[in-house]
């Protein structure tokens, strides 16, 4: 698998949110295998009980220490 910007467990901020999209901080659940198009990630918002698929271009890394 090619190198990805994020990995499972990373905390990210969703940018350019669309109506009904997650707000705030999310956790990367998994990297979606890339077949064509942009790299995507399965993420879960702290306030939700389900996952969303978000393009890498809409995610911003959070600065924190592991």
* pLDDT by residue, tens only, the chain of 66 residues: 568 999 999 999 988 666 556 667 899 999 999 988 999 999 998 888 999 999 999 999 987 554
pLDDT of residue 44: 94
CB 39 within 8 A of CB 31: yes
Q: In terms of pTM, does the model score above 0.85? A: no
Beta-carbon contacts of residue 56 (< 8 Å; ≥ 6 apart): 4, 5, 6, 38, 39, 40, 41
């Amino acid at each position: 698998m090619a190198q990805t910007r994020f990995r499972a467990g990373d905390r990210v901020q969703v940018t350019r949110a669309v109506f009904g999209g997650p707000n705030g901080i999310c956790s990367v659940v998994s990297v979606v295998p890339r077949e064509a198009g942009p790299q995507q990630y399965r993420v879960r918002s702290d306030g939700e009980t389900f996952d969303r698929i978000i393009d890498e271009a809409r995610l911003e890394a959070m600065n924190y220490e592991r």
